[in-house]
Chain A
Amino acid sequence: MRITQGCFSFLPDLTDEQISRQVQYCLENGWAVNIEFTDDPHPRNNFWEMWGLPMFDLRDAAGVMMELNQCRKAYGNSYIRLSAFDSSHGWESVRLSFIVNRPKEEPGFHLERHEVAGRNIRYTTKSYAADRPEGRRYG
């Protein structure tokens, strides 16, 4: 199951040129672009690993693409996302975030029904990938 998080996730995967254009849009707005990766696709997993520091003061997307390609080389079979941080007063938060790399196979989620008092049911989603230990989830 293809996970959908952040911008553009219902579209087909962006090509490198499209990613580069999006990054350029972020840079032209003065946002700092950051690269993060993870192998835990749960939507509530807020804390992805950072690939280096957020990139401030860049003028051209080529710098981000260079880092992204290095990140892909190291974690090519994980989820990688770019997030653009707007530091201007009043925003001071992430303005855009999108997935730029995903594992070849995404096993999807298991829905667990937890029967509790009365006839109530609590639901839990659990990624099949997360059954295996960190670092070995996508082969």
Chain B
Amino acid sequence: MKRLSTFLLTMMALGYVYLYAPIISLIVFSFNKSRLVTVWGGFSTVWYARLFENTQILDAAWLSLRLALISATVATILGTMAGIALVRFGPFRGRTMLSGLISTPLVMPEVLTGVSTLMLFLLMAKWIGWPARRGFSTLLIAHITFSMTYVTTVITSRLSAIDISIEEAALDLGSTPWQVLRDITLPVISPAILSGWLLAFTISLDDVVITSFTNGPGYNTLPMLVWAKVRLGVTPDINALGSLIVAVVAIGVTVSSVVLTRNERRRERDIQAALLGDH
């Protein structure tokens, strides 16, 4: 049964073709000379040049990048706090409600999160006069809120896998809680904090639905701009943009997985060495 049957092999091959055919097609046609995105008219890099001349796209990309950087950072701080509270603070009052609230945006369709957040902003504007207009601040709040829930999930799953006894030992040996947090808990969960941040960053960079409800005029993020452009029809400069994103992501993922694999190997070697008493 260990052997891969022909059926499974065929299904896997077809599955990967399904997943990658459009991406490869996107990249190939980004080098197309013709304006038509489906008919090959010779090799050219004109659409890449066109992309970097398009200030509208560059502005939108810059807005998306700023938004993703700030919202991912704030979301990581809030999400880490919530994760530590949920896993390490024992059964405090309101714990169930906090974990329920945090998981709500994960199970709701985005359109509901978007419409309900917009209603909140509009009513707040009416009642307390803020936010008077929707723009960067409302986008930031909406992005922080849904990114935070993902970060919390990453942190809680990592933290529950870590033995609490090290932290308790440090407390017994006279460390203050603040020292325990700074010297043990945070360093131990730092990989989870990093992957939580990356997840929050990507989600924010990619969000369309919630952004479409909470942004104001003049605040078009990159996905919003692409959505508007694609609704009008397909154009090859979007192919170029997509190919660039795929290239950046592929390089990033490959580099990080190589680094992670190397760290993992080194850790395994260290554990082996420690077990053998070979210092």
Partners in one complex: no
